[in-house]
Chains A and B, each alone.
Chain A
Amino acid sequence: MATNQWWASESFWRKTAIWVTGGSFVVLMLLTMDTISQISVGTTRVPAYSVINHRIEYKFDEQRRVQVPVIGVKEPLFGKELNEEEAEALVKLGKLTTQAKNCMNCHTLLGNGAYYAPDLTKSWLDQYWGTSEIREVQMVEFIKDPSDKLHNSMGRRMPKLGITDEEARGVVAFLKWMSSIDTNGFPYNFKSIEQEN
């Protein structure tokens, strides 16, 4: 068998491996730089934290043919308008709490995590919270102590995770902010809570 063909040559494949790997990596770096600039906080895809001062909706976009978040009228979280720094501090507390309490090993956020409990990407807009008036209080109370609250036929409860009132408010702020991220239509077909008044 002829082994001196180019396609059977060790050095040809070594060079190919090096060039393909290097080339792919360079392209990935360029794309990464572009993507990071598009998903930094304060862009159209990932709004500023002060978006929690507004109503967030999730509506079908005729042009893109998917649902997208829409930032609506002023509707400050917990009735208190926050400036940019205050809003960031609150959302940060919430994000840190989700990590320290390991929410992602039961839930998915933006669809990533564990599959034991509902996806939280649009939790802020979930119809199960009742009406938009009582939602904030409901959420804070639930997150602080869900152990005596059961909403499903499976008997699956969320445990009490030792979350303080302040942390729970932070978590709600984080969830509200997360619902404003443009996720290209994920989750599909989500029906939002009634927010008109």
Chain B
Amino acid sequence: MATPGICDSANLNGGQKLAVKYFTVAITLFGAQVLFGLMAGLQYLMPDFLYGVLDFSVNRMVHINALVVWMLYGFLGSVYWLLEEESQHEIVGLKLGNLIFWVLTAAVTVVVLVYLLVQVGPGKESSLWLINEGREYIEAPRWADIGIVVSVLVVFYNVAATFAKGRYTGIAGVLVLDMLALFGIYLAGMFYTTNISIDQYWWWWVIHLWVEATWEVMVACIMAYGLMKVLGVRRKIVETWLYIEVALMFGSGILGLGHHYFWIGTPEYWFSIGGFFSALEPIPLVAMVVHAVFDAGARHAKNSNHPTMAWLIAHAFGNFFGAGVWGFMHTLPQINLYTHGTQWSASHGHLAFFGAYATIIIAMFYLAVQKWRGDVWMSGDLPGNGWKWKWALGLLNLGMVGMTISMLVSGYVQSQIERAIEGSSWIGYFAAQAHPWFTQGMWWRELFGVMFTVGFVLLVWDLMTIGRGEKRTLVPATSET
């Protein structure tokens, strides 16, 4: 084995070499997301900032697209990371996997450049094919959609075939089916229709069935692997939990889709179906917290990678608060009538995406760095007491919570003044936007955004330096039986 403390690809298996590439692009896009978020946030405060050059719409599009793409990269990387260990078999198509990584990354680069340089097109279908589709989160032009579908099919083949040849574990079974659903759902967002009700009907299939069903199960698989890895929890326990979580998550999340069908032209029966099932969605999220905290407690939090463990716990709580609590707050139609499409939604969107997904991908980054440096020590007694990772953890989480609360205050004012009193008119909209509580909320959002950004910079710095020159190697987590 190579000397510990140096990043050496000899420390990684084939899938993991590929995973490191995906992770590198992921964190780069994370940086882009933060930058464009700051610019969009600043335009709330200074509307002339880059007006007519990089308008709010462009900044926001890059902000949320970078988000979706870096998280998908994080997932693909995580899957490649665990693939060979889990299947106990060499990845079947490493060359092809590498090729597709470069194709996908080139496509993403072109898409972003077109967003920034071309921005908009004429009102023709060709604009949707070449420039952007103008549909939140899945703005990528149609040519790129097709490229994405082909690429993910290759990843899917690599994963499914490797498991088929090697060991087909419980995690493998859930993961393969979930990837199929995750990629399949994307197809529901790949067509044009003039009927905006039908348009939004299918659009929500992609967005909701991603974040509240297939992505949740994806991270549940990653969590199961992570807990075995850093805590040494027994496979039988994590896999049983995984099935319970799948049952609860899909059982509530699939029909919970109805909470987006209150006001888009869809029939009234969605009030009860959407309200009821989405109200159950927090249950699996509570189960996940119990699972993670119980497992950690049962081992007195003794683990082989402190940053990873900390981010896994942050994930469990972030998922519960961001998705479970913040989602539940506005999911009943009686409330959603007033909060629909306000800063309230943005508040929830931020805490949920960060809490549920950013956290666990960051946990995987740390796991990757550890192995890449030759399975180095990453528990207690790090140089400088591990201040970098601890401060990054604190600043990122506090920054996000601060942003979330700020937007909630603004959202409260907005739902009260614009939605309830003024009836969502043009004047009513600006009456709310001009209210001091609202504007203050937007200022605090930006300030906490800066705090978040400092945390991000520290995170990157830490990932580049943690374990450098470390001579101690890890003591593998031992299973209790």
Closest Cβ of chain A: how far from B353's Cβ, in Å?
15
Q: Is the CB of B267 within 8 A of A45?
A: yes
Determine whether A131 belongs to the interface, using a CB cutoff of 8 Å to chain B.
no
**A105 and B121 alpha carbons, distance in the complex (Å):** 15
Determine whether A78 belongs to the interface, using a CB cutoff of 8 Å to chain B.
no
Stretch binding the partner chain, chosen from B25-33, B43-51, B100-108, B368-376: B43-51
Query: Assuming A14-B243, A39-B195, A154-B430, is B419 touching A188 (CB within 8 A)?
Result: yes
A interface size (C-beta, 8 A): 88
| Chain A stretch 160-197: residues in CB contact (< 8 A) with chain B | 160-164, 167, 170, 178, 181-191
Q: Is the CB of A39 within 8 A of B341?
A: no
A13 CB contact (under 8 Å) in B43, B244, B338: B244
Inside 8 A of B261's CB, which chain A residues have their CB? 35
9 tightest A-B contacts by CB?
A: A99-B134, A97-B123, A187-B424, A13-B243, A186-B263, A111-B341, A100-B127, A105-B57, A189-B423
Query: Assuming A35-B201, A119-B429, is B266 touching A104 (CB within 8 A)?
Result: no
Inside 8 A of A118's CB, which chain B residues have their CB? 424-426, 429-430
Inside 8 A of A122's CB, which chain B residues have their CB? 424-425
Known: A35-B261, A102-B139. 12 other contacts (CB 8 A): A21-B254, A24-B254, A98-B134, A100-B124, A102-B58, A106-B56, A110-B265, A116-B57, A127-B427, A128-B425, A151-B426, A188-B338
Inside 8 A of B427's CB, which chain A residues have their CB? 127-128
Determine whether B1 belongs to the interface, using a CB cutoff of 8 Å to chain A.
no
Determine whether B457 belongs to the interface, using a CB cutoff of 8 Å to chain A.
no
Determine whether A126 belongs to the interface, using a CB cutoff of 8 Å to chain B.
yes
Determine whether A27 belongs to the interface, using a CB cutoff of 8 Å to chain B.
yes
Stretch binding the partner chain, chosen from B14-22, B321-329, B342-350, B383-391: B342-350
**A123 and B425 alpha carbons, distance in the complex (Å):** 8
Q: Is the CB of A191 within 8 A of B268?
A: no
Q: Is the CB of B419 within 8 A of A187?
A: yes
A104 CB contact (under 8 Å) in B135, B243, B346: B135
Determine whether B170 belongs to the interface, using a CB cutoff of 8 Å to chain A.
yes
Q: Is the CB of B57 within 8 A of A102?
A: yes
Determine whether B146 belongs to the interface, using a CB cutoff of 8 Å to chain A.
no
Determine whether B420 belongs to the interface, using a CB cutoff of 8 Å to chain A.
yes
Inside 8 A of B425's CB, which chain A residues have their CB? 118, 122, 126-128, 190-191
**A40 and B269 alpha carbons, distance in the complex (Å):** 17
Determine whether A46 belongs to the interface, using a CB cutoff of 8 Å to chain B.
yes
Determine whether A152 belongs to the interface, using a CB cutoff of 8 Å to chain B.
yes
Would you mind naming 5 contact pairs between A and B with Cβ atoms under 8 Å apart?
A41-B194, A105-B57, A118-B425, A178-B196, A187-B419
Inside 8 A of A104's CB, which chain B residues have their CB? 134-136
Determine whether A71 belongs to the interface, using a CB cutoff of 8 Å to chain B.
no
Residues of A at the B interface (CB closer than 8 Å) are 8-10, 13-14, 16-17, 20-21, 24-25, 27-28, 31-32, 34-36, 38-41, 45-46, 49, 88, 91-106, 108-119, 121-123, 126-128, 147, 151-157, 159-164, 167, 170, 178, 181-191
Q: Is the CB of A17 within 8 A of B123?
A: no
**A45 and B180 alpha carbons, distance in the complex (Å):** 34
**A159 and B47 alpha carbons, distance in the complex (Å):** 11
Q: Is the CB of A105 within 8 A of B56?
A: yes
Q: Is the CB of B247 within 8 A of A16?
A: yes
**A155 and B430 alpha carbons, distance in the complex (Å):** 11
**Nearest CB in chain B to that of A42: its residue:** B195
Q: Is the CB of A112 within 8 A of B51?
A: no
Closest Cβ of chain B: how far from A40's Cβ, in Å?
7
Closest Cβ of chain A: how far from B136's Cβ, in Å?
6
Query: Assuming A41-B195, A157-B47, A181-B196, is B254 touching A25 (CB within 8 A)?
Result: yes
Query: Assuming A14-B170, A24-B250, A187-B424, is B337 touching A116 (CB within 8 A)?
Result: no
Inside 8 A of A40's CB, which chain B residues have their CB? 195, 198
Closest Cβ of chain A: how far from B221's Cβ, in Å?
13
Inside 8 A of A186's CB, which chain B residues have their CB? 262-263, 337, 340
A189 CB contact (under 8 Å) in B251, B262, B421: B421
Inside 8 A of A185's CB, which chain B residues have their CB? 263, 337
**A108 and B60 alpha carbons, distance in the complex (Å):** 13
Q: Is the CB of B123 within 8 A of A93?
A: yes
Closest Cβ of chain B: how far from A101's Cβ, in Å?
5
Query: Assuming A104-B136, A116-B44, is B250 touching A10 (CB within 8 A)?
Result: no
Q: Is the CB of B136 within 8 A of A183?
A: no
Determine whether B61 belongs to the interface, using a CB cutoff of 8 Å to chain A.
yes
Q: Is the CB of B136 within 8 A of A113?
A: yes
Q: Mark B128-159, 1 if CB is under 8 A from A, else 0.
A: 10011111100100000000000000000000
Q: Is the CB of A99 within 8 A of B196?
A: no
Q: Is the CB of A39 within 8 A of B198?
A: yes
Inside 8 A of A188's CB, which chain B residues have their CB? 337-338, 419-420, 423-424
**A94 and B266 alpha carbons, distance in the complex (Å):** 22
